[in-house]
Structure 1
Amino acid sequence: MMVFMMAMGVVQKPANAQGDLDVNAKAAILVEASTGKILYEKNSDTAQGIASMTKMMTEYLLLEAVEEGKVKWDQKYTVPTNVSKMSHNTSLSNVSLREEGTYTIKDLYESMAIYSANASAMAIAETIAGSEANFAKLMNKKAEELGLENYKFVNSSGLNNKDLAPYVDQVVGGAEEENVMSAKDTATLAYRLLNDYPEVLETSSIAKKMFAEGTEDQFNMPNWNWMLPGLIREYEGMDGLKTGTTDFAGACFTGTAERDGMRFITVVMNVDVSAGENSYDARFNETRKMLDYAFANYSIEEVLPANYQVKGQKTLPVEKGKEKEVQIKTDSPLSMVIKNGEKDQYKPEFVLDKKKLNDEGELTAPIKKGEKVGYVTLKSSEKNDLGYLTDKGTNASKSSVVAVESVEKANWFVLSMRAVGGFFGDIWNSITSTVKGWF
């Protein structure tokens, strides 16, 4: 028996994502994209350099401005001297922009999203906010609105300020400062970008495109995301989002892929580069590892059906109603992202809306059919749950509990008779208790 138990201790692994996956990066996170359910994290709350992953925020603000009618895709941008000079810096990722040349916002957006063009990001920032400095303020304000916690934006592109300084009147922050976010915040930004503006994938999924095709400025743009289908590290289902590399940030990548209706978001920051391996391969290898793990081990399963009634809590007492209780049930099925084989560890938990109850825990008539009285959520018996990126995801793991039928308020006569019956009932109970005491 002793040998058997020792052997089991060697073979069995802890039932949690942290023990099953090891990502070789300074920080990393793996998330299911529809709910924001966190499946794996490593040092995910510490702010790190993000390099050109910054451009996801620039994309968000541009897509928002387009949605609000403040900017149009066919709007023309005339290139000033400073932006043109930056675009011709061959040590930075860029497409060449002629001084006083005109380009559409759509052209600039595509060059930023596909080829990570830094001058194009700067042009977009100036279009929206008038200057890099003003745009940085918008970026930080939007980060706060999105619920990010560990971040600081100093420019629109993700460059180190020393590389940006020759092309702006004044940099924001320190002379060699860069944008930073935690892995969790980066994933949250990606999550919001995908859910608020899913059209971003139409561009981020483009493997190759010609910039300003048919003009003297045309330039072939291969996507820096080499995991896209058709590129050298292609991965099935990959369609976004953004790479990033600087000396400060190291090799970074926010990826997303979808297969059979399941989408995941991954973030790796400052990946470890093995001997003989280049940083590009390193970030894609670690991303592949995370996505392989996710697709092999997780699925979205219906755990509770619609019209489910929690055992022992199928009714609630009703005060002042024609009926003294009302049946309750869930109004929709409840699905969750669950690791294979772990469905049984989740148990339903009924949470009442305390605002609906009196001091005795009763609902008060009248009650409408379908009126929400609480919700059911699922609690894991294990202590390895990593939670969600946002409250929206938390709410997705709940199903509303509603009244099955309406309960009208009883009229004054019925309420009076109940009160009288209750009065004499209390007297009778008192008498029987006293008589019992004699014997």
Structure 2
Amino acid sequence: MIQVTRKSVSMILALVLLFTTFTIQPLTANAESTLDLNAESAILVDAGTGKVLYAKNADVALPPASMTKMMTEYLVLEAIENGQISWDTTTQISDYAYKISANIYFSGVGLTQNKDYTVKDLYNAMAVFSDNATTIALAELIAGSETEFVKMMNDKAEELGLSEYLFVNSTGLDNSSLGDDVPEGTDPNASNLLSARSAAQLAYHLVNDFPHALDISSQTEVDFEGYTIENLNWMLPHEATFLQQFHYEGMDGLKTGNTDLAGYTFTGTAERDGKRLITVVMKTNSKEERFRETAKLLDYGYNNFQSEELFAAGYQLEDESTLPVAKGKEKEVSVSISDPVSMPIKADEAELYSLEYHIDEEKLNEEGELVAPIEKGEKVGTATLVYQGEATDHGYIFEQEAVSVDLVSDEAVEKANWFMLTLGAIGDFFGNVFTTAVDWIKGLF
């Protein structure tokens, strides 16, 4: 008969705990790496490098709803930076904007005509409460009409390199809901379109070109005409008990969206320990789901990737540490990378990255040599980061973007004087003659 003691029970429990540690943890890690998101499309981007860390149907164009307002925000901030308007500039409310504001289905804050509103107040209502009427008022202030503003939106999208886009109004509402107020030249039945990638591209430009946008989007509430309006981004630190479950540390933006056609969308951004991530989820089923799925993306980014310096400044490829030089006092010059190469990478994958040199052909002669004189630190090409792992590499948020640094000369090489160049030419001449003669004699036998 087996005697069960307190000590033996403790040992059994310890073994069970040890077993579950080795069996459960790998499954959890695997589930995290697959990231089964409840969203029709999604993307996760490192805001510093533009590296895409995760993507799901990221190039499918879908209605973004009020995420459209990120483009309106960009153009307002650009107009302020250019001196066209200021935060204190005032404007009044047109009949169109007033009608939208009075419509309870369009989340209006309630505007008054024949009254001056500052750009700051209108922008706060747009960015924090996703108000449509204040968005239209800003569009009309900048461009004269929403029709002209829509043209600006599409032109700016092309300039910024957005991959998939169509803007038909400034708000993200479906044109079919605007009646006779559809911007001229746009399809009355059309909706704005963005892919998850292009929404992230827009957010990338917004937070990098105008960081002040985050000071506004991170406000949990603002005062508007004497009453408080709350931010629709539930991942900010709201005081309401129900919303606290969605709070995500480091979250400071960016834009929610919802229409019947678009479902619930959200472009989020958070920063922890100096590392900023951008997320987009599109066509989720509820307000709650869009924030939960965003949290999954951010957890995946922060838990699985770390910014690491892969190659230090001055690094040289072992077999390509020098380049040949023509017409110089030296026959070769040492080359290395000018700056360190850093990337967000998964743990233990540092060895899967290498550098590839691309020498500037305009600096080479027909023999593939650099031509003296060469200055110290002169750029002779670029070094591009190459990933050699088996995991899916999602590339960068912009197709043309890749991590590369300048390849520079480590020392100066002066041009040889005319006498040395002449001796070299004579030596080359007789060397060629001798080689030709030897080849001719060999041909006789």
Shared fold (TM-score, shorter chain, > 0.5): yes
1:201 aligns with 2:207: no
Asked whether the equivalents of residues 94 and 115 of structure 1 are also in contact (C-alpha less than 8 Å), the reply is no
Matched residue SS, 1:55:
helix
Mark the CA change 1:174 to 1:423 in structure 2 (over 3 Å): closer, same or farther: closer
The letter of the residue matching 2:110 is S
Confirm or deny that 1:91 pairs with 2:94. no
Q: Residue 198 and residue 407 in structure 1: after superposition, are their counterparts in 2 closer, same or farther (change >3 A)?
A: same
* Structure 1 counterpart of 2:70: 56
Between 426-435 and 411-420, report the one with greater CA deviation.
426-435
TM-score (norm 1): 0.89
How far off is 1:348 after superposition? 1.8
Matching of residues 325-404 of structure 1 within 5 Å:
325-382=332-389, 384-390=392-398, 393-394=401-402, 397-404=403-410
The amino acid across from 1:417 in the alignment is L
| Secondary structure, counterpart of 2:105 in structure 1 | coil
Asked if the contact 1:249/1:269 (under 8 Å) is kept, the reply is yes
Structure 2: distance between partners of 1:45 and 1:59: 23
Shift of 1:176: 3.0
Residues 187-336 of structure 1 mapped to structure 2, 5 A cutoff = 187-212=200-225, 218-230=226-238, 232=243, 233-271=246-284, 273=285, 279-336=286-343
1:407 aligns with 2:420: no
What one-letter code is carried by the residue in structure 1 that aligns with 2:346?
K
Unmatched runs of 5 consecutive residues or more in structure 1: 1-10, 213-217, 274-278
The aligned amino acid for 1:318 is: V
CA gap of 1:341–1:16, structure 2 versus 1, over 3 A, is farther
- Give yes or no for contact 1:54–1:179 (8 Å, CA) kept in 2: yes
1:181-219 CA distance string (max 9 Å, x none):
11111100000111111110000000111113xxxxx23
Aligned-pair distance for 1:398? 1.2
What is the TM-score normalised by the length of structure 2? 0.88
* 1:279-299: CA deviation from partner (whole Å, max 9, x where unpaired): 011100110000000000111
Q: Secondary structure at the match of 1:91?
A: helix
Q: Does residue 1:129 correspond to 2:135, yes or no? A: no
Q: What RMSD over aligned residues (CA atoms) do the two structures have, in Å?
A: 2.3
Q: Match of 2:164?
A: 150
Distance 1:100 1:343 in 2: 62
Alignment match, 1:33: 47
Give the Cα–Cα distance (whole angstroms) in 2 for the partners of residues 169 and 210 of structure 1.
30
Can you give the 5+ residue segments of structure 2 that lack an aligned partner in the other structure? 1-24
The answer on 1:70 being equivalent to 2:76 is no
Distance in 1 (CA, whole Å) between partners of 2:412 and 2:349 is 38
| Secondary structure at the counterpart of residue 296 of structure 2 | helix
Deviates more, 1:20-29 or 1:255-264: 20-29
**Secondary structure in 2 aligned to 1:48?**
coil
Q: How many residues align?
A: 414
Q: Within the alignment, does 1:100 sit opposite 2:109 as a pair?
A: no
